[in-house]
């Protein structure tokens, strides 16, 4: 039977995934600050409470530790909670519940209890949110055993990955790059945002589908080098590669944990060069882990040092946001350096 599609932006795709799972599974509940009556600060849960009821989609007090603690208990007793943390910057009060309780529950109880919860949170910069609304803390959670970390780059991926995350029996961090909620962008401050309606991955299948966790997506095939990236930076990388005329293979990791090492290894062994791009700060960022994995698996195939283009080791700036981003100038310079070695 032919699958019909509908043009969606990322917010609409996330909303659709949540509604489908609320319909399919009576144990799924959506919770968080302003997610019910108001529909979320970015409107990702708009209309869900009216459609599914106040016991399935409900507002919580302003307490991130409490939201996640309650979600852990719900999961242990058979529900599948999908709590929202309004901004990733606000997730730190919940670290103890996430790291000490959710991630360890299966191990600590020898499998008697699980925490099948999916924590949604908008993250990253691009909206001039300043230091407390723009952080990218993904590396903190990739370090934690027992927890999965997902970062989509398109409406198609957002819906399929979110459904898979909700069905997963382990706790999942689902970070949503808010800069591309309504359309991808190139990384050029003066270049207009491209609406999702003009992007091929805005054609989202209607109804239920899932994307397997731990499978990267090769968004552009190439021979000259491999670029590893995720989230917003996928679109920046594609633009810079096109502008520079470089035959790069761009891999959208999609899930950081579990990580698709097979796809990464095959690509780097083919191209002999590897560049890593992410928005988060450089020191101890996820790019450091990627670099170590590539070096361990592909050392004898590398023809140049692995390059990293990242955010700076500073608090996230407000007025200098576009200088902080790994943008066209820094990425183009790194491309030139790695290709001349």
Q: Mind telling me the catalytic residues? A: 133
49 φ/ψ angles, rounded to the nearest 5 degrees: -65, -40
Residue carrying the six token digits 């820094």:
330
90 φ/ψ angles, rounded to the nearest 5 degrees: -90, 5
Q: Where are the beta strands (DSSP E) in 157-303?
A: 172-177, 203-205, 217-220, 225-229, 248-252, 255-257, 274-281
Q: Where are the beta strands (DSSP E) in 33-152?
A: 57-59, 80-84, 118-123, 148-150
User: Residues 65, 66, 70, CA angle at the centre, nearest 5°?
Assistant: 120
183: nearest Cα among 256, 126, 250, 120? 126
d(CA 30, CA 45): 9
Q: Which residues, at least 6 apart from 38, have a Cβ–Cβ distance to it below 8 Å? A: 59
Evaluate whether 177 touches 232 at the Cβ level (below 8 Å). yes
Residue 59 forms beta bridges with which residues? 32
């Amino acid at each position: 039977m032919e699958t019909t599609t509908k043009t969606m932006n990322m917010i609409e795709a996330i909303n659709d995934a949540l509604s489908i799972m609320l319909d399919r599974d009576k144990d799924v509940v959506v919770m968080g600050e302003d997610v019910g009556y108001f529909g979320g600060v970015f409107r990702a849960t708009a209309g869900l409470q009216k459609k599914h009821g106040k016991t399935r989609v409900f507002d919580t007090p302003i307490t991130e530790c409490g939201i996640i603690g309650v979600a852990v208990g719900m999961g242990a007793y058979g529900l599948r909670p999908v709590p929202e943390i309004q901004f990733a910057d606000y997730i730190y009060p919940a670290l103890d519940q996430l790291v000490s309780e959710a991630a360890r529950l299966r191990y600590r109880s020898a499998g008697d209890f699980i925490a099948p919860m999916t924590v949604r949170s908008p993250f990253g910069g691009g909206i001039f949110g300043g230091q407390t609304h723009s952080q990218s803390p993904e590396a903190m959670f990739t370090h934690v055993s027992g927890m999965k970390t997902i970062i989509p780059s398109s409406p198609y991926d957002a819906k399929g990955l979110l459904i898979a995350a909700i069905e997963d029996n382990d706790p999942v961090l689902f970070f949503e790059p808010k800069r591309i909620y309504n359309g991808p962008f190139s990384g050029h401050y003066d270049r207009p945002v491209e609406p999702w309606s003009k992007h091929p991955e805005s054609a989202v299948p209607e109804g239920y589908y899932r994307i397997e966790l731990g499978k990267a997506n090769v968004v552009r095939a190439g021979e000259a080098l491999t670029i590893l990236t995720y989230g917003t930076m996928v679109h920046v990388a594609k633009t810079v590669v096109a502008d520079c005329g470089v035959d790069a293979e761009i891999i959208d990791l999609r899930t950081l944990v579990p990580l698709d090492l097979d796809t990464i290894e095959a690509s780097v062994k083919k191209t002999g060069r590897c560049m890593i791009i992410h928005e988060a700060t450089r020191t101890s960022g996820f790019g450091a882990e990627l670099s170590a994995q590539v070096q361990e698996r592909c050392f004898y195939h590398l023809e140049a040092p692995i390059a990293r283009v990242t955010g700076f080791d500073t608090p996230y700036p407000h007025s200098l946001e576009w200088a902080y981003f790994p943008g066209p100038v820094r990425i183009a310079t790194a491309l030139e350096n790695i290709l001349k070695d």
